[in-house]
Structure 1
Amino acid sequence: MDNRAIGRRVRYWRTRRNLSRAQLANRCDRSVSWLDKIESGERNLLRVPMLERVASALEIPVAALTEDAVAERSSQCLDAVEVQALRTALGSYDTLLGGRMSRDPNLARLRAQVDHACAAWLSSRFTVIGRVLPDLMRDAQAAVRTLDGEPRLEATRHLVMTYRLTSSTLLKFEDTDVAWLAADRAITLATESEDTICLARATRSVARAMTQFGQLRAAIDVLIAMADRMEPDLAGDHELMSLYGMLLLAAEIAAASDGDASTALDLHERADAVAHTLGPRYAHRTTAFGVTNVALHRLAALVRLHEGAAALAHARTIPADAIARLPQERKANYLLDLAEAHRQTGNNQDAGRVLLHADRTAPEEVRCRPVARQLLEQLLEQPDASPTPQLRQLARRIGLPA
């Protein structure tokens, strides 16, 4: 084992767990200077009992420090400790019950925290999101509790966005129970606020959770109801138009998942009309709503309708330069849908090639999400499968036999 590699991993996990050097040293019953030497590689960590103590203090398996493949895989995926931290933050009522706050509400700081979390989401950096959301949630809850008037409304919007990011992140990894809890928190707060922006964001979160639980028709109904409610107020408001469009796109995906091709197409056409009103190069800063994202959702809908050939034909109409301008999260999901379309039509080599492209674009989307793992398993299990060395290497990185 390489002392320096282990030291780098100890430092990485200490930072990821938001531990100071003193805190980790104390957990290991050692001095800060001892930890400094471990992290720098000056001192080895070869004795098994001490390795186990450090790993336990960091709440990771020993292999995450000692084995290259496990270290790489675990560093790229949201883990159980971070999911539990989100669950704990969602279940905390300290600020709501008047508990002591760690610091006074600061809207500028809160705004910067939310912007950072949104940027991490759009970059598909879910380990960053898992690290920042619990504290962000508590800070936003405290701000909502203590502020009044317009400042309270801004804090409420930040908290709803935080709940939405939490729910959306967990849905990607199919941790549906906690995702549902976050979505429920969002819709409860949004309903109390009576703010259209909050309600639109929260409705999409609740509907996505419903979709994951198989409540497809209910999800479609709630999304369309919210969109209809917003329609009279759209007139030139780009923020509301973008949120309205995203409601329609979420309903399109739910309809396609329910096998309702006609409704899915109708919703697509409505969203496309809104996107074209905003302009051919418009893309919302947090949702990427615009003409290209609408086109990507149509591809996703066709895949869910198991119309692989139609999905591939549609994909050929989307300009490559328009896709290149999208954030990583959108590009990676487009590539996963495109790979699935190739698989549905029996083009397994092309499916594998596109999946590798998705991995290069956003590794956390491919190496950590169950949907990508399932797609790779299906490609490897084909009777005539002849995966490339690169695809086999990806399988090993994910932890699949190859």
Structure 2
Amino acid sequence: MSSDATPEPYADPLKFGQRAQILRERRGMTRTQLADLVGISPHTLKKIENGQQQAPGLEMVMRIAEALRVRDLADLTGHPDMHVDLFIGPGHPRLAAVKAAIDCFPLSATTEPPRVPHLRARLHAAWKARHQAPDHREVIGRLLPDLIRDAQALAGHSDSAAERRVAQALLAQTYSLSQFFIAYQPESSLLWRVAERGMIAAQESEDPHQIGVAAWLLAQAHRDSGPGQFEAADAVNLRAVRFLEPLLPDADDDVLAIAGALEFELGYTAARRRETGTAWQHWDMANTMAARLPADYYHPITSFSQAVMGAHAVTVAVELRQGGESVRQAARADEVTIPSRPRRARHRIEEARGYQLDGQPDVAIATLEKAYRAAPETIRYNGYARRIVLEETESKQAARRRRASALAVQIGMLAV
């Protein structure tokens, strides 16, 4: 290896600070940006990186891991016994079959395509199951391989322009469902392939709703790749918002809802940057769009609705590190039940983050237990939840430590 090559985080005798600096630079983050994200001064972070200050305690280690989106805690600590996946969950048993279906493009017209109403009904049932099942990844992972193959076959057999548009819309919807299954699993390249194929299919369909959904998911793929991709996420969201804007005066509920979901995503990314005013401004705009929807309406993919705006407010407050505000927003949001089990579990995780920020770790663990009851497969793959649980397994309070350890066993982070 050349002398000027970037060292690997695993190479000895790298210390914690050196590993943190390498991983920070690979993310394209400045020292000031990382320091702001974890709540210390750039000077303190510099001393940690330079080894002038001893490695921080577990709570700060976890904050740094969260900010750097470290997949494996051992990458940051250098301890081989700390192989804990944080933001990439365990590979689901059905991941290989889903990947095989995505990777296998039919190159001939030998496969008999399904009828459009039949495929549409199967997709509707799959989305319904995704929202209602606590083991939602298992359920849709079982359905996806056949759905993917049939949607690809239908797209390949379409003759007229109208038939092709319909088939591409169903293929885009299938890829959207696939992205929900693949997210936070150890297949980053597969996630990107699905997100990009979904956008291509949506554009081919010329369906504004499918284009909006594909943009919503593609922007999330960018944002979840780290701060270096925030601008790309914003660019995708903004293009989609501007594309849909002329349609909104006469839009149906689904198009209006996906436009609102995209508007909130702009606020979410702004909150991740700590841009308080911008974040809440986009939340307000999304809330205005939600108010135009029927009170009992829920978007079939994003769950965007009047009810979910309370959950979105919690997320914004948490990302802005406003612990007290996030707890206040959580109290308001709890007045409304979110029908989707995975979305409800995700909301509980965001609430737990708020309680943790507000110095209420016992309530945070209790809230994560609610998330587990709502949808175990959501908390099992969520890096924020895993961080809180792992941190509290080291608590000095015996009761809290036991409760966190029991939850860690349930979600597969610790062996019995």
Same fold (TM over 0.5): yes
| 1:173 aligns with one of 171, 182, 185 | 185
Please tell me whether the aligned partners of residues 157 and 197 of structure 1 are also in contact (alpha carbons under 8 angstroms). Answer: no
Pair 1:150–1:99, CA change in 2 (3 A) = closer
Task: Give distance in 2, aligned partners of 1:171 and 1:221.
Answer: 21
Task: Could you tell me which runs of 5 or more consecutive residues in structure 2 were left unpaired when the two chains were aligned.
Answer: 1-88
Please tell me whether the aligned partners of residues 78 and 127 of structure 1 are also in contact (alpha carbons under 8 angstroms). Answer: no
Structure 1 residues 328-362: Cα deviation after superposition (integer angstroms, max 9, x where no partner): 11211110100111111221110111111111111
Task: Give distance in 1, aligned partners of 2:281 and 2:170.
Answer: 32
| 2:277 aligns with one of 237, 241, 262 | 262
| 1:98 aligns with one of 108, 112, 119 | 108
Task: Give distance in 2, aligned partners of 1:90 and 1:255.
Answer: 33
Q: Which residue of 2 aligns with 1:288?
A: 303
How do residues 96-245 of structure 1 correspond to structure 2 at under 5 angstroms? 97-101=107-111, 103-123=112-132, 124=134, 125-147=136-158, 148-173=160-185, 175-214=187-226, 215-236=229-250, 237-245=252-260
Structure 1 residues 111-139: Cα deviation after superposition (integer angstroms, max 9, x where no partner): 12211221232135111111111210110
Pair 1:326–1:288, CA change in 2 (3 A) = same
How do residues 217-366 of structure 1 correspond to structure 2 at under 5 angstroms? 217-236=231-250, 237-320=252-335, 322-323=336-337, 325-366=338-379
Select the structure with the greater relative contact order (CA < 8 A; seq sep ≥ 6): 2
Query: Once the 2 structures are TM-superposed, how far is the Cα of residue 301 of structure 1 from its aligned partner?
Result: 1.9
Pair 1:247–1:313, CA change in 2 (3 A) = same
Letter in 1 for 2:281: D
Letter in 2 for 1:228: R
How do residues 7-18 of structure 1 correspond to structure 2 at under 5 angstroms? none
Query: Once the 2 structures are TM-superposed, how far is the Cα of residue 376 of structure 1 from its aligned partner?
Result: 0.8
Task: Give distance in 2, aligned partners of 1:348 and 1:174.
Answer: 29
Letter in 2 for 1:216: F
Q: Report the number of matched residues.
A: 321
Please tell me whether the aligned partners of residues 90 and 186 of structure 2 are also in contact (alpha carbons under 8 angstroms). Answer: no
Please tell me whether the aligned partners of residues 176 and 209 of structure 1 are also in contact (alpha carbons under 8 angstroms). Answer: no
- Normalised TM-score (structure 2): 0.72
Task: Give distance in 2, aligned partners of 1:275 and 1:369.
Answer: 26
Q: Which residue of 2 aligns with 1:373?
A: 386
Task: Give distance in 2, aligned partners of 1:401 and 1:304.
Answer: 31
- Normalised TM-score (structure 1): 0.74
What percentage of residue pairs aligned between the two structures are identical?
26
Task: Give distance in 2, aligned partners of 1:168 and 1:80.
Answer: 12
Letter in 1 for 2:354: A
Q: Which residue of 2 aligns with 1:82?
A: 94
Query: Once the 2 structures are TM-superposed, how far is the Cα of residue 176 of structure 1 from its aligned partner?
Result: 2.6
